[in-house]
Amino acid sequence: MLLELRIENLLLIERAELRPGRGLTAITGETGAGKTVLAQALDLLLGGRPRPGIVRPGAREAYVEGVFELPPGLLGEPEFDELRERIEEAPSEIVLARRVTGEGRTRAFVEGRSATAADLQALGGRLVAFFGQHEHRRLTLASAQLDLLDGFCGRDALAARADLSAAHARVRELERELEELRERAGTRARDLDLLAFEIGEIDALRPREDDKAALLADRERLRAVDALISAAGGGAEAVAPESGEGGVAHLLADAERAAWEAAGVDPELDGLAHRLSALRLEAEDLGGELRRYAGGLDADPLRLQEVEERLELYARLERKHGGSVAAVLEHRDRCLGERERLERAEVETERAEVALAEARARRDELAGELSGARNEAAPRLAERVQEELSALAMASATFEVRLEARDEVGPTGAERAEMVLAPNPGVPAAPIREAASGGELSRVMLALMTVAGLGESRTLVFDEVDAGVGGRTARAVGERLRALGEDRQVLCITHLPQLAALAGSHFRIEKAAGADTTLATVEQIAGDGIVRELMRMLGADASDGAARRHAEKLLAAA
């Protein structure tokens, strides 16, 4: 049950608080005063999308908060596992809230903790059943009629329908996969040839990062081979010429001999002589290394051409496959994987065919179960609706729920529902979109919602459900709504005095235009305030004695 509703800066309402009680609550006001603001506030609490311009002009954000009595065990159900972890305790009351900025961004809260609109939809949908102004128009759609029938079947049928929808989606997915496999089978040979070419092209080069780096170094060395030979040869001759005469090593040998001629006299000179020996050996070795380096350089132009060709292959493959050796190797791996997939395409096709047959069998099984539940429930629903129509001043009407087979099983099953009405004796039955007037359609909608659309919700909100009715019919609609309020909370936004007079509590919305802005206020009324509001709804002013007596008579009859 909705215990309290707070609204701030929503459309015309700057601030309002409502504490509706049990039973039937009427919400009235002049046309355009903002009655539907309350409906929009509840829609936000139920996870609805905010409409453009919903924030009151001049305000930064709108805020809606609802305090609800929580049915025992609701949060213990599996669909609320994640939400339950974010709430410290299982409360007896729960607070849902929604903020909407002027830019249209929203934030949702459950018990003061951040939540999502989906959380509000799941939770609010179990707490409140909301029926908008044009709900009766929606009933003319076959899909809405099927929804109502399934709701009447119960939670097991709704769960089966969800399973059927998932099974149908799986069938469609497998059908697409099989079609793709069959299409690829037609181009399989060509694709395998192309993959073999690309893999072969890469394997012929055997690309590696270190190989490319070595080739780049080789190319630089081969391009400068003459200069390298000249530099190494000149250095070898300067350090240790092949003739043995002259050069650094020869000079160091002369110095070494001179030093050793005085060996044994002074230890310091002996140490220096050892160093001269080491220098002479190093010079001779260095000269030999330079000569060997020069001799090892390959000046063969064919080798340079070979290196250039391999580097060009590297550049071409990198341009084709991503710009780097790593990208080329990744492309090769993808080609190998695709080749393997194509090579086993026939096996994959057979597997997909088997999986599709199994998925279709499962879908058809679920559709059969749902069809059985619908066929069993349809006459019971029609009987219950006809009883409700009798209470709504349509005792002579006949109502039927017909099931028509579809050409193929769809996500909602193997049949469509068509609700058929004969509003008066002797009038042929026809689909309700054709047979019912506006007022009759409103009453059919109320009857259907009473029987099939309420679910487990303890709070029912009707936004101008009485559209198109008046007189004694309006009284019958009001009495039915009051009867619903005997074990539920019913909030009804209405413009009919006959209905408002039957309410146990009454809120009036009044619009006041100022110099710069227009605001709407919400006030709970009682006693003479209700009489005056009923007079307004009757189209009379406060001084009209006859209207006052009429209003008082309406209240007395309630």
C-beta separation of 287 from 240 below 8 A = yes
Cβ-defined contacts of 286-291 (< 8 Å, 24+): 286/239, 286/240, 287/235, 287/236, 287/239, 287/240, 287/241, 287/247, 287/248, 287/249, 288/236, 288/240, 290/232, 290/233, 290/235, 290/236, 290/239, 291/232, 291/233, 291/236, 291/242
Distance CA 512, CA 397 (A): 45
The DSSP bridge partners found for residue 93 are 69
Distance CA 324, CA 331 (A): 11
Distance CA 298, CA 315 (A): 25
pLDDT digits (tens, 9 = 90+) for 396-446: 888 999 999 999 999 989 999 888 888 888 788 888 777 766 667 777 877
H/E element, 27: strand 23-29
Instruction: Give the chain's mean pLDDT.
Output: 83
Helix (H/G/I), strand (E/B), else coil: 473: helix
C-beta separation of 402 from 390 below 8 A = no
Which position has the token pair 């390298």? 228
Helix (H/G/I), strand (E/B), else coil: 331: helix
Best-predicted range by mean pLDDT (81-85, 258-262, 301-305, 352-356):
352-356
C-beta separation of 55 from 102 below 8 A = yes
pLDDT at 432: 79
Give residue 261's pLDDT band: very low, low, confident or very high (50, 70, 90). confident
pLDDT at 107: 92
Distance CA 306, CA 207 (A): 15
Distance CA 239, CA 292 (A): 14
The DSSP bridge partners found for residue 106 are 100
pLDDT digits (tens, 9 = 90+) for 160-195: 888 999 999 999 999 998 888 877 776 777 888 888
pLDDT at 517: 72
Which position has the token pair 């090769």? 332
Distance CA 478, CA 486 (A): 13
Between residues 345 and 390, which one has the greater pLDDT?
390
C-beta separation of 509 from 521 below 8 A = yes
pLDDT at 39: 79
Between residues 176 and 36, which one has the greater pLDDT?
176
Distance CA 19, CA 38 (A): 13
By DSSP bridging, strand 413-422 and strand 398-410 are antiparallel
Best-predicted range by mean pLDDT (28-42, 432-446, 485-499):
485-499
pLDDT at 137: 58
Mean pLDDT, range 19-48, rounded to an integer: 82
pLDDT digits (tens, 9 = 90+) for 93-110: 888 999 999 888 899 998
pLDDT at 504 over 70: yes
Give residue 457's pLDDT band: very low, low, confident or very high (50, 70, 90). low
pLDDT at 414: 92
pLDDT at 191: 82
pLDDT digits (tens, 9 = 90+) for 332-378: 998 998 888 777 777 788 888 999 999 999 999 999 999 999 999 99
pLDDT at 32 over 80: no
Q: Which of 119, 38, 99, 134 is nearest to 461 (CA)?
A: 38
pLDDT digits (tens, 9 = 90+) for 115-149: 888 888 888 878 887 776 555 556 667 777 888 88
pLDDT at 244 over 70: no
Mean pLDDT, range 21-35, rounded to an integer: 80
